[in-house]
Amino acid sequence: MSMNPRIAEAIEQLKLRTYYSAYPENPKAYPDEANEAGKLAFQKRLSNRFDELIADESISWLGEEVSPYMQVGLGIEYPVFSVDSLISNAKNARDQWSKISPEKRADILIETLDKVQERFFEIAYATMHTTGQSFVMSFQASGPHANDRALESIALGLQELTRINHEVNWVKNMGKFDLTIKKNFKPISKGVGLVIGCSTFPTWNTVPGVFANLITGNSVIVKPHPKSVLPIAIVVAEMQKVFSSHGLNGNLVQLAVDSLANPITKQLAEHPAVKLIDYTGGSEFGEYVESLPGKTVFTEKAGVNSVILESVGDAKAVFGNLAFSASLYSGQMCTAPQNIFVPADGIATAEGHLSFDEVVSGIQQAIVGMAENPKMGPFTLGAIQNDMTKNRVNDTLSSLGKSAVEAQVVNPEFTDARIMTPSVVAISEQDRNLWNKECFGPIMFIVKVENSAKALELAAFNAENKGAITCLCYSTNEGYCAEVEERMNSVFTPVSFNFTGAAFVNQHAAFSDFHVTGGNPSGNATFTDALFINRRFVWVGNRYA
């Protein structure tokens, strides 16, 4: 069977690692009426049942999402299924799907992405009002960027599944005769996959595992966070419709909704039929998932991301870049910087030397200035997804005798939005109880260290022992940059150097950047490398004389 040209192009882009996006990220690239239609579709959802999913075996309806912008419940209910029903449906659907050729599976999965694309705006508003992301981030992350990551899984999956000939005639000359054996090699899917979503990025972090499972012939149960269901529910609904239109079992992908009070994640994860688990979230539960026997597990957990400030050219540009990285979605990104290591005697800049205190003040002022910019502040900060994040930051500040930054930020559309400007706290390297753990949300620690060598030592220590997904280094010294790259790479952490302007450490691009290396405690898997695909199936060879 010939390969879909869109898949062929995506496979080529995986090799090149240059910029590539199959789905435009600018909302203006879509029809003028799409935005309003998406908003209206979302509004019609409120206080109603989400009735697009296959719900024949549902036992009840449930929903507890709250908008971080309006701080009221959305009132949307989703069908609830028993664990036994979910597992039984997944097993039945997998039996049929696994017999389809990889090329045909890829074609069908591309069709699901096309259908999801038609609902990017509705998904954007759903993401806004479940996560607190701004509209633009919601559109990009849950729409085009998520679709790109899904396409990446499909393309890499098809590449790995077709890397070798599936049927061969094996001939060995034995001198007076040839020994001929007919062989076939089959990629056999492992079974039922469980994908556990998070509250802050309900589609971007979920679809890579979903599509990696499907392209390799597995069925999928998606277990979203109870407070962030709607965006991925829309995706699952469209997928079910496409599968059904091809005469396939729509339950090939299912949504397993639960509540915070009565979670079902462990029941699903521990079920013997579940062979694959993808997880995004906190380290404690991630370590539990990793400990389960007989499971193939892919995790993205917490990390402590560092910035090393050794020397800079344009200090204002650097502080502005750091301010944006810290403020983007109020620091609620797994790639956001938390610790900034600065030598006690300050840093050199093109305009002259800056003391440690001047560095702290410069970053603080840059954050407040951005937050109070009416055209930028509220749309960069978004809203805090839940009160736990806000309370955690406030408790940390209170323990230090400090209060949260009170910048004058007003969202012109949502006056009740849960907004919190990132706080910048100066501490010393002796305050290990603060910088040696993740404090998720809008807070940054500027850590006074002995010198630049110590800054690198502590950044590497954190990455090796607590995990790190990103590291940002500013230095005009090429030798020091080389040292940072070598040391941080040795603890499996990528480094971004001297980012200013529109380049931000938070952002990872599909088809180019590997998201999480899988080599330190921040996670054991990567979006998206060959292992992310190949561990989901096994090669079995048969021989006929």
User: Rounded mean pLDDT of 31-44?
Assistant: 96
* pLDDT above 80 for 41: yes
DSSP for 53-100, written as a single string: S--TT--EEE---B-TTT-SB---BEEE--HHHHHHHHHHHHHHHTTS
First-last CA distance in the chain: 27
Pairing mode, if any, of strands 78-80 and 60-62? antiparallel
Q: In angstroms, rounded to a whole number, what is the distance separating the alpha carbons of residues 46 and 38?
A: 13
Q: Which amino acid is at 259?
A: S
pLDDT of residue 441: 93
Q: What is the DSSP letter of 102?
A: H
pLDDT tens-digit readout, 296-346: 999 999 999 999 999 999 999 999 999 999 999 999 999 999 999 999 999
Check residue 390 and give left, alpha or beta (phi > 0: left; psi -120 to 50: alpha): alpha
pLDDT tens-digit readout, 218-243: 999 999 999 999 999 999 999 999 99
Q: Which CATH superfamily is domain 306-497 in?
A: Aldehyde Dehydrogenase; Chain A, domain 2 (3.40.309.10)
pLDDT of residue 448: 97
DSSP for 293-304, written as a single string: TT-EEEEE----
pLDDT of residue 407: 83
Average pLDDT over all residues of the chain = 96
pLDDT of residue 1: 55
Domain residue ranges of the chain, discontinuous segments joined by +: 5-301+525-544, 306-497
| Helix extents (H) in 346-451 | 356-371, 377-381, 387-399, 432-435
Spell out a b/e string for 3-25, using b for 16 or more CB atoms within 10 Å of the CB, else e. Answer: bbebbeebbebbeeeeebbbbeb
Peptide bond into 528 cis (omega under 30): yes
pLDDT tens-digit readout, 386-438: 999 999 999 999 999 988 887 889 899 999 999 999 999 999 999 999 999 99
Q: In angstroms, rounded to a whole number, what is the distance separating the alpha carbons of residues 410 and 27?
A: 24
What pTM, to 2 d.p., does this model score?
Answer: 0.96
Domain 5-301+525-544 -> CATH class:
alpha beta
pLDDT tens-digit readout, 105-142: 999 999 999 999 999 999 999 999 999 999 999 999 99
* pLDDT above 60 for 85: yes
User: Rounded mean pLDDT of 257-280?
Assistant: 98
Q: In angstroms, rounded to a whole number, what is the distance separating the alpha carbons of residues 365 and 344?
A: 20
